């Protein structure tokens, strides 16, 4: 089995939590660090939340580095309505144990990537791209030294979830997203076109609830919080509906690429207009041989949830559960 070295940059966040629990349990991934950024909730909460989730998963060996408190050029935004005031739904906050990584997240990203062979370290950006953009500004060689860059962000045919055409992560810091997409590195983007296909239905949540570990129980509880929130704030078109599970998609793709269909493209981000701030212009009329970006157009939703359940069960077996 090939093991992929990985940094996760995130803003936990209910769906970030599901992604982290998946990555913490995945034997296919060598998780080098978790870096956090202000996004779904303020930066001091996202760092604490990442450390809480690390403790629940029993992965205190993974360092957590706090990062940017605000976007590159704009005031901070938040999404507490969808994630709860503390960012993790109904999960009772606690002061986690374990060390906090020394130094800001951008420096940690540069150090972890540049000290390893070129192309060997992937980064999954599950929130605003501020930390990665700052890292690229501090180390000009970073883009060419990185391995796969996978991001949750953007929207095309599905439309936006914060404005008519913008997805929250890109809208929150469009200037940072423009830096990353324009850096020349290979970026695979999982926007709403794909993640809205991956929905936490009742049957899928129940399958996770049967797993006898704290990460699985916590994942299921967070998904139920998302169910209630989606029903209240967005609406529920049918009894079989479910809240979309955004952030685990890039992690699932790193583990099992055939769960998603991708198309080569060029992605540019609108930074100048208030009306279309954060719009992702996804252009498929490109030469596949030279395209630096790929856009997820389809997802095997059941396959993603099966992977989550199988991975969490595998961790249960490994611990003798």
Question: Which residues are designated catalytic?
Answer: 246
Query: E strands within the chain?
Result: 4-10, 29-36, 64-66, 121-125, 149-152, 187-190, 199-200, 243-244, 260-269, 280-283, 293-299
Calpha distance 103→187 (Å, rounded): 26
Cα-atom radius of gyration of the chain, to the nearest Å? 18
Tokens in use for 304? 């993603």
DSSP 48-95: HHHHHHHHHHT-TTS-EEE--SS-SSS-----HHHH-TTSSTTPPP--
């Amino acid at each position: 089995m090939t093991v992929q070295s990985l940094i996760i940059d995130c803003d936990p966040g209910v769906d970030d939590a599901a992604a982290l629990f998946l990555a913490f349990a995945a034997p296919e991934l060598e998780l080098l660090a978790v870096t956090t950024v202000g996004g779904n909730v303020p930066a001091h909460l996202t760092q604490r939340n990442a450390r809480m989730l690390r403790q629940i998963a029993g992965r205190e060996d993974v360092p957590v580095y706090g990062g940017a408190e605000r976007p590159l050029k704009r005031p901070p935004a938040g999404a507490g309505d969808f994630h709860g005031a503390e960012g993790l739904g109904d999960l009772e906050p606690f002061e986690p144990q374990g060390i906090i990584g020394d130094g800001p997240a951008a420096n940690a990203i540069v150090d972890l990537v540049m000290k390893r062979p070129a192309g060997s370290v992937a980064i999954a950006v599950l929130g605003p791209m501020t930390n990665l953009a700052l890292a690229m500004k501090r180390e000009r060689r970073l883009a060419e030294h990185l391995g796969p860059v996978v991001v949750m962000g953007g929207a095309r045919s599905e439309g936006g979830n914060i404005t008519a055409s913008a997805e929250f992560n890109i809208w929150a810091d469009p200037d940072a997203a423009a830096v990353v997409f324009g850096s020349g590195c290979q970026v695979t983007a999982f926007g709403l076109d794909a993640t809205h296909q991956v929905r936490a239905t009742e049957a899928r949540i129940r399958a996770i609830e049967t797993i006898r570990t704290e990460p699985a129980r916590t994942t299921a509880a967070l998904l139920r919080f998302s169910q209630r929130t989606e029903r209240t704030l967005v609406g529920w078109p049918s009894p079989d509906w479910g809240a979309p599970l955004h952030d685990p998609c890039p992690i699932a793709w790193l583990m099992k690429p055939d769960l998603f269909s991708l198309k080569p493209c060029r992605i540019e981000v609108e930074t100048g207009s208030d009306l279309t701030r954060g719009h992702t212009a996804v252009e498929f009329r490109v030469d596949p041989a030279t395209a630096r970006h790929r856009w997820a157009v389809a997802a095997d939703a059941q396959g993603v949830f099966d992977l989550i359940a199988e991975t969490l069960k595998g961790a249960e077996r490994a611990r003798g559960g």
